[in-house]
Amino acid sequence: MASFELAALCLLVAFAIVGVHMDQRRIRRISSRRITYPLFAMAADDDDPTVTLPPPRHDPNSRMDRPRSGNATSSSPSSLIRIVQPSANRYTALPWRDLASMWNRNATIDDILARVSNESSLLPSVPPNDRVVIVLHSTPKMGSMTLRIACRNSLITNCGRLSRNRVEPDGFRDGSELAGIMRRCNSTHHFCLGREMFPMGSEISRFESTSFFHLYPFRNYDAWAISALKQVFDRGGVENCEKVDASLDDCRDMRPELSFSKYPKMRMSIALPQVMRRVDEMGETHHIVLYPYDEIDALLSVFGEIYHVPLLPGSAESYHSERPEGTCNDSILDKFHMCFTHKLDKLP
């Protein structure tokens, strides 16, 4: 009987050793798997301390600036947003995630540049046979009127294209339409856009031998909001202020001026994955540039010198420089901040 119990005990020990070995193999297999996350995670509830946001599967800027296969350039490494301040002759580049973490409601362009130690004097080079296309992403209260009129007049002058709108150029509100205009009108380099260039689901074919530069304006968030609220008053006085006030009772983001969805950081967070898809799937070349909103004419002069493209006539004009007295009640701005401003820091 003792020998039987000894044999049974040995058998149990053997099974235990095999089980541990199999568990270790299973753990190694699980730990070696690549865990994927959604491109953009839903924002956590501020009142729920137990929620942890997983990191995105792809950095939204991860393969920006990448030269096309067979067209090597001296551009800096991928995943960079270029920041240019012409008035101070300052150039640098940051991954989108780093830039987004610095870009809060108090940030200025000087604040961002002051925190960067690897400033460079170079913008990316372009292959000799590439067409340079400059997309001016227009934002209310950041020189939007000036750029829209300049782009409209440029299309009329260079392409003989009469605009349907007395202020906006054709394609301004439709990226697919603008892509078609870019192909047909190759005698100009400047195009203005108030929407996404490549919305998800669009079927815009590949641009051959083209280097895109997407120019986004920067303005301090609070200063932009104050100016946008002033424009609400300028457009329709107290009655227009009351309409905006009512829309903010249930946090509707619907106004053409004071609209969180139109702030450049918000627009960039949406557009970058769309552009990244073009880079990854079609091998196009895209560069993203952030600049102080009141230095667009100087920036276009820099582009003219480096890439030998003509200037955009009218980009130095200033509209709405003389504005009537008065603005909406500050309580409307308080409502706006309560509804939307907390989202600014959550943008990826």
Could you tell me which residue, 32 or 195, shows the higher pLDDT?
195
Residue 86 confidence (pLDDT) above 90: yes
Q: Read off the tokens for 20.
A: 């541990």
Could you tell me which residue, 169 or 8, shows the higher pLDDT?
169
Among 23-27, 67-71, 250-254, the least confident range: 67-71
The Cα angle at residue 287 between residues 89 and 212, in degrees rounded to 5: 115
Q: Read off the tokens for 324.
A: 């009537």
Residue 179 confidence (pLDDT) above 50: yes
Compute the average pLDDT of residues 289-309: 95
| Residue the block writes with tokens 């960039």 | 268
Could you tell me which residue, 72 or 21, shows the higher pLDDT?
21
pLDDT band (50, 70, 90) for residue 306 = very high
pLDDT on residue 198: 86
Instruction: Note the pTM of the prediction, 2 decimals.
Output: 0.76
Closest CA to 266 of 169, 338, 171, 196: 196
At residue 273, what is the residue type? P
Cα distance between residue 330 and residue 170, in whole Å? 36
Alpha helices of 62-205 — where are they, by DSSP H?
96-102, 109-114, 144-159, 175-184
Q: Read off the tokens for 193.
A: 């856009």
Residue 67 confidence (pLDDT) above 60: no
Cβ-proximal residues to 208 (8 Å cutoff; 6+ apart), any chain: none
CA 246 to each of CA 35, 60, 255, 262, 328: distance values in angstroms, whole numbers, following the listed order: 45, 35, 11, 20, 13
In this predicted model, what pLDDT tens digit does every residue of 196-242 receive, in sequence order? Answer: 888 776 789 999 999 999 999 999 999 999 999 999 999 899 999 99
Closest CA to 105 of 344, 346, 347: 344
Complete DSSP assignment for 29-77: HHHTSPP---SSPPPPPTT-TT--PPPPSS-TTTTTTPPPTT----PPP
